Amino acid sequence: MAIGQRLEGKIAVVTGAADGIGKATVECFVREGARVIANDLPSSKIDEALGTLENVVTVKKDVTEQDAPAVIAEAAASAFGGLDILFNNAGTAAGAPVDELTDELWDHVLAVDLTSVVRMTRGCLPLLKKSDAGRIISTGSVMSSFSAPGMAAYTASKHGVLGLTRTFALEFGKFGITANCIQPGAIMTGITRDVFAADPSFSDYWKNKAALGRLGQPEDIAKAALFLASDDAAFVSGIGMLVDGGAMQGT
């Protein structure tokens, strides 16, 4: 199949799509022939980011809200008639050292980064089962396998996303659905832009840590998501895929 048609006829949901990895993935999926429900928080940000793109319907909804899975799945069913690819990508990287970590911060990070993944997956499952090649892709992190000071809630969430991915793969394989977790390294997005600008030594640390000597760009992750969403990854399920420029391979 020619490049540019790898998702021809496919219908996708991408959460956290107004910026960074989600936005780049929507653009990439649409270029490859998909029709996409692009979700983000209720604000004009998602329309400004993607509103003019053909074959994209935006859904402004906080993924932590009780009815978010039903609203987003219903949008896919009514706009496009089904769902083949769920990309659980919305996330926050808020953090604090453990002795300063409030219950509120813990609950918020777990709700956005972990609980929404299982709830969105459960809510979209009936549609994914009807697809002949259902795909669940979730954005973990290098912190699905490692950690950093100040990142307890994020680390717990992202470890959880990789664990859930393994369970999804085992439970949904019988429906022909694959489930995989992308583990980005340091990517230049909305989450990191300000932190890197405020502290260049932080971005230098990640640049130097990467074997490839650079930060990742959102498109680097979008292309990994495209692979996992495509027929090329038909026999890939249950994995955590590090996309970090080799950052985590050294001591």
Q: Show which residues are catalytic.
A: 154
Number of residues lying near ligand NAD (CB under 6 A): 28
Query: CA nearest 172: which of 146, 136, 202?
Result: 136
Nearer to ligand NAD, 111 or 133 (CB): 111
How many angstroms separate the CA atoms of 240 and 180, rounded? 6
CA-to-CA dists, residue 207 to 73, 185, 241, angstroms: 38, 10, 19
- Identify residues 82-121 at the interface with ligand NAD (CB under 6 A): 89-93, 112
Nearer to ligand NAD, 18 or 162 (CB): 18
Does residue 38 contact residue 15 with C-beta atoms inside 8 Å? Answer: no
To ligand NAD, the closest distance from the beta carbon of 62 in angstroms equals 4
How many angstroms separate the CA atoms of 184 and 77, rounded? 30
How many angstroms separate the CA atoms of 13 and 39, rounded? 7
Indicate which single residue of 189, 203, 230, 237 sits in contact with ligand NAD (rule: CB under 6 A): 189
Per-residue x/- mask for ligand NAD, residues 39 to 58, rule CB under 6 A?
Answer: xxx-----------------
Indicate which single residue of 121, 131, 141, 178 sits in contact with ligand NAD (rule: CB under 6 A): 141
How many angstroms separate the CA atoms of 70 and 118, rounded? 13
Q: Which residues bind ligand NAD (CB under 6 A)?
A: 15-16, 18-22, 39-41, 62-64, 89-93, 112, 139, 141, 184, 186-187, 189-192
